[in-house]
Amino acid sequence: TIAKKAFSEAKARNISFLIGPQSSSELTAIKPLADASQILVVSHSSTAGSLAIPNDAIFRFCPSDKIEGKAMAKTIYDAGIRGLVTVGQNDAGNRGLQLSVNDNFAKLGGQITSAPAYEGTTPDFPAVIADLKTRVSVLSVIHGEAKVAVYLASFDEAVAIFKLAANEPVLKGVKWYGGDGVVLSNALAADADAADFAIATGFFAPSYGLSPAYESKWKPVAMRIKESSGIDPDAFALVAYDALWTIAHTIEAKFGGVSTFDEIKLAFAKQANKDAGITGPNTLDVNGDRATGTFDYFGLVKDGSTYKWVLTGESE
């Protein structure tokens, strides 16, 4: 894979610290290499619970799917939903989100029916839609249509799913929610049929949230990034900024001297737990993942002849 190739190139250059990769699937691919090579890897956006492993070479500066899934489950339940159908792509990140939402929604007292994960490489979306129709219909009989919803953990393939679901009154008649893999998707905003379905079903998805309490720290950095690149950085980009500074502080604390890999990991965790970055406290849990976090919710609106993502709410 590209991730493995990039890691091997970094290793050949005697790199000791890496920031990234973005997805949990990529991180899963390079994890054995990182552990064997004793290269400290800090992902700014991987969430898969399967990667929440103590004492390995992987650290993550965003909350894991356990935290996101708990937040989404509570938001969905608090919206009055009592029957939830979940489905997602069969990759580490999306599968972890689906399972986390399942577990947390059930703990709140809701009824879950979990559809089989579909393969990202050879998806059979008509079959996925047919299965969702059956599951939604069953829950609607039990709870009533207004109290039933669908949670989709996906990437841009949500476009294809939404376009098919738009032709099914059973699926268009309930609320839809998503995971962080599709939030702010340009592909979804660019497809009128999929975007119209998202609007009709009140669809929104979470992105790791930036705390207003730290706006005086992250906003100037975000503005400088926008001025240089023309791109508005999301929270994950600013988390990468914090990761870089934590690496710098770790090296500084060790005075650039030679240390064992275990000592470097301990020093990194100490620096992360010591101070807050521009995105807030970087406190890590026992697995080396960010221990806390809130989420901003984004949905689509129509703006003239185009569609755009807007902030619609936030988790507690």
What's the pLDDT tens digit per position in 245-290?
999 999 998 766 768 999 999 999 999 999 899 999 999 999 999 9
Residue 138 lies inside a defined structural domain of this protein = yes
Q: Are residues 280 and 200 in the same domain?
A: no
Q: Are residues 55 and 145 in the same domain?
A: no
Q: Are residues 82 and 170 in the same domain?
A: yes
What pLDDT shows up at residue 255? 67
Residue 296 lies inside a defined structural domain of this protein = no
Grouping H, G, I as helix, E, B as strand and the rest as coil, residue 141 is helix
Q: Are residues 76 and 49 in the same domain?
A: no
Cα angle value 143/144/145 (rounded, 5°): 125
Residue 37 lies inside a defined structural domain of this protein = yes
Q: Are residues 266 and 149 in the same domain?
A: no
Residue 210 neighbours by CB distance under 10 Å: 22
List helix spans (H) across the chain. Answer: 2-12, 24-37, 65-78, 92-107, 125-143, 158-165, 169-172, 186-190, 192-200, 215-229, 235-253, 261-274
Q: Are residues 36 and 149 in the same domain?
A: no
Residue 215 lies inside a defined structural domain of this protein = no
Q: Are residues 34 and 110 in the same domain?
A: no
- CATH code of the domain covering residue 275: 3.40.50.2300
Q: Are residues 81 and 166 in the same domain?
A: yes
What pLDDT shows up at residue 105? 98
Residue 16 lies inside a defined structural domain of this protein = yes
Q: Are residues 70 and 204 in the same domain?
A: yes
Asked if residues 298 and 211 have their Cβ atoms less than 8 Å apart, the reply is no
Grouping H, G, I as helix, E, B as strand and the rest as coil, residue 43 is strand
The Cα 161–Cα 177 span in angstroms is 13
Residue 221 lies inside a defined structural domain of this protein = no
Q: Are residues 80 and 49 in the same domain?
A: no
Helix (H) or strand (E) holding 50: none
What pLDDT shows up at residue 259? 80
Domain count of the fold of the chain: 2
The Cα 200–Cα 97 span in angstroms is 24
Q: Are residues 84 and 179 in the same domain?
A: yes
The Cα 151–Cα 167 span in angstroms is 18
Residue bearing tokens 């100037």: 220
Residue 299 lies inside a defined structural domain of this protein = no
Q: What is the DSSP string of 53-112?
A: -TTSSEEEEEE-HHHHHHHHHHHHHHTT--EEEEEEBSSHHHHHHHHHHHHHHHHTT-EE
pLDDT in tens, 63-89: 899 999 999 999 999 999 999 999 999
Residue 307 lies inside a defined structural domain of this protein = no
Q: With the CA atoms of 50, 127, 165 and 71 taken in that order, what torsion angle do they form, in degrees rounded to the nearest 10?
A: -20
Write out residues in the chain with pLDDT < 70, as ranges.
Answer: 255-256, 258
Q: What's the number of CA atoms in the CB half-sphere (13 Å) around residue 27?
A: 29
Q: Are residues 263 and 179 in the same domain?
A: no
Domain containing 87 equals 66-209
What pLDDT shows up at residue 124? 96
Question: Could you tell me which residues are beta bridge partners of residue 313?
Answer: 297
